[in-house]
Amino acid sequence: MSHFQILLTPSIALMSLAFLFNVVLRRFHGTRYEAPAFGTLFGIAIVVGMINPLSLGEGLIFDTRTLLLGAATTFAGPVAGVVALVFGVICRLVLGGAGVTSGVVGLLTAFGLALAFERYLRSKISYPAVGDVALGAVITLSIGAIFLIPFDIALGLFLEIAPVLLICNVVGIAVIGMVFRREKRYFEATKALEEHARRDPLTNLLNRRGLDAHVGESRFDAQNGHAFFFFDIDNFIRINDSYGHDAGDATLAIIAARLRNSLREEAIFARHGGDEFSIYLPSVNAADVEGIAERLCGLVSDKPVERGGTSFDVSISMGVFWSRVHCPLQEMINQADTQLMMAKNKGKNRAQVTYSAEGVNALAA
């Protein structure tokens, strides 16, 4: 019965896995740090298990390292597996003892078995849960490393431990897989709902909430500066009155599509409501701002909108604010809105640009 002490640490750890998985997903999902973060999480769990092991004799310890290493490689990818492996190997070397060589080889073997299983066998198994059970059985083969210690000792330990290790690995991988997939599905569903709430349904652009979030998450280029472009459609009420609200909606969608296809990847494009739109560029030189604004206006006015066999001209007026220092979003909106009013007063179908003091100096240089 005492050998089932090895299940105590993972049993306690599994209670917090859902929370920890969610924390890592929220902080690192979709970034280059996601796999290393998961690897570190599993690596720490491996170390905790190794410093609280089941002692089998002088220098001989037994824990759930192969289970956790296999889970890292399976559910978070090879990079995460390598990170977890490094944690495990270093910890085993530090602990030392008669079984150090066996322990390190066992870790390397478990990683290799998990990697081979994912690459060559996983795709042949239709049900993920069945695949997890099979993986648990496969990584149990790493117990063969125990025969690097004297054979008579190894054989006795093998016969005593192998059944417990098999149960631990099979059940552990199945449970971790269930928790990991559930948390990932929940996280992705939540992200999808959040993104949906940040989108304008007509144009699929960001709404004001989405604009606030995306600008808040972006980093502007303090060397080049950043710019906010705020515009609306000239005489939009006349389009609705003359051609109907369906034509007005189509005009909004067409203009959004034209401009979106011409923007840089880092541009943050949003619809504020009605016929008001904005574009935030986190990195742009002061000397380029006016040319960009004129190009955007031209993309709208150079080609008429066609709707139901009817064709009509459309244009936009735009206000732009550029700065090399950090500005609250609302301040940039206010500055650009002031310029938009000036553009309309000057006859519409044009862009009006203003610069902070740094921009004025840069243009004069």
Is 78 a member of any domain? yes
Say what the pTM is: 0.67
Query: Contact 213/198 with Cβ under 8 angstroms?
Result: yes
12 Cβ partners below 8 Å, 6+ apart? none
**Closest among 173, 75, 147, 66 to 112, alpha carbons compared:** 66
Question: Which of 150, 170, 197 is a domain's end point?
Answer: 197
Which residues partner with 93 through β-bridges? none
Domain of residue 214 covers 208-364
The mean pLDDT value for 24-43 works out to 89
- Residue 265 predicted with pLDDT over 80: yes
Is 32 a member of any domain? yes
Based on the domain organization, do 328 and 214 belong to the same domain? Answer: yes
Percentages helix, strand, coil for the chain (3-state, rounded to 5) are 65, 15, 20
CA distance 269 to 242: 28
**Closest among 235, 259, 258 to 248, alpha carbons compared:** 235
CA distance 208 to 51: 51
Is 203 a member of any domain? no
Confidence label for 27 from pLDDT (cuts 50, 70 and 90): confident
- Residue 4 predicted with pLDDT over 50: no
- Residue 255 predicted with pLDDT over 60: yes
Based on the domain organization, do 219 and 300 belong to the same domain? Answer: yes
Give me the CATH number covering residue 259.
Answer: 3.30.70.270
Based on the domain organization, do 212 and 342 belong to the same domain? Answer: yes
Query: Contact 39/82 with Cβ under 8 angstroms?
Result: yes
Question: Which of 197, 218, 234 is a domain's end point?
Answer: 197
Question: Which of 197, 222, 251 is a domain's end point?
Answer: 197
The mean pLDDT value for 125-153 works out to 92
Is 202 a member of any domain? no
Higher pLDDT, 165 or 267: 267
What's the count of helices (H) and strands (E) in the chain, helices before strands? Answer: 13, 9
CA distance 351 to 299: 13
Give me the CATH number covering residue 44.
Answer: 1.10.1760
CA distance 150 to 111: 24
Is 259 a member of any domain? yes
Q: Is 263 in a helix, a strand, or coil?
A: coil
Is 168 a member of any domain? yes
Percent of the chain residues topping a pLDDT of 90: 60
Instruction: Report the phi/psi class of residue 323: left, alpha or beta, with left for phi > 0 and alpha for psi in -120 to 50.
Output: beta
Based on the domain organization, do 255 and 144 belong to the same domain? Answer: no
Based on the domain organization, do 48 and 131 belong to the same domain? Answer: yes
Which residues partner with 279 through β-bridges? 229, 269
Based on the domain organization, do 164 and 220 belong to the same domain? Answer: no
Higher pLDDT, 15 or 89: 89
- Residue 148 predicted with pLDDT over 70: yes
CA distance 314 to 269: 19
- 265: DSSP letter: T
Phi, psi of 270 (to 5 degrees): -140, 155
CA distance 55 to 194: 49
215-219, 294-298, 307-311 — which one is most confidently predicted on average? Answer: 294-298
The mean pLDDT value for 29-36 works out to 88
Query: Tell me, what's the pLDDT at 278?
Result: 97
Is 258 a member of any domain? yes
Mean pLDDT of the chain: 87
Of the candidate ranges 27-36, 58-67, 205-214, 313-322, the one whose mean pLDDT is the lowest: 58-67
CA distance 312 to 32: 47
Based on the domain organization, do 344 and 237 belong to the same domain? Answer: yes
The mean pLDDT value for 222-235 works out to 95
When divided into structural domains, the chain yields a total of 2
Query: Tell me, what's the pLDDT at 6?
Result: 47
- Residue 266 predicted with pLDDT over 60: yes
- Residue 117 predicted with pLDDT over 50: yes
Based on the domain organization, do 56 and 187 belong to the same domain? Answer: yes
Based on the domain organization, do 226 and 184 belong to the same domain? Answer: no
323's enclosing H/E stretch is strand 316-323
Query: Tell me, what's the pLDDT at 70?
Result: 93
Is 102 a member of any domain? yes
Higher pLDDT, 353 or 180: 353
- 206: DSSP letter: B
- 58: DSSP letter: T
Based on the domain organization, do 338 and 219 belong to the same domain? Answer: yes
The mean pLDDT value for 127-136 works out to 94
- 351: DSSP letter: E
Based on the domain organization, do 78 and 53 belong to the same domain? Answer: yes
Based on the domain organization, do 64 and 193 belong to the same domain? Answer: yes
Query: Contact 271/203 with Cβ under 8 angstroms?
Result: yes
Would you state the torsion angle of the CA atoms of residues 334, 336, 340, 346, taken in this order, to the nearest 10 degrees?
A: 120
For 72-92, write each residue's pLDDT tens digit.
999 999 999 999 999 999 999
The mean pLDDT value for 205-226 works out to 92
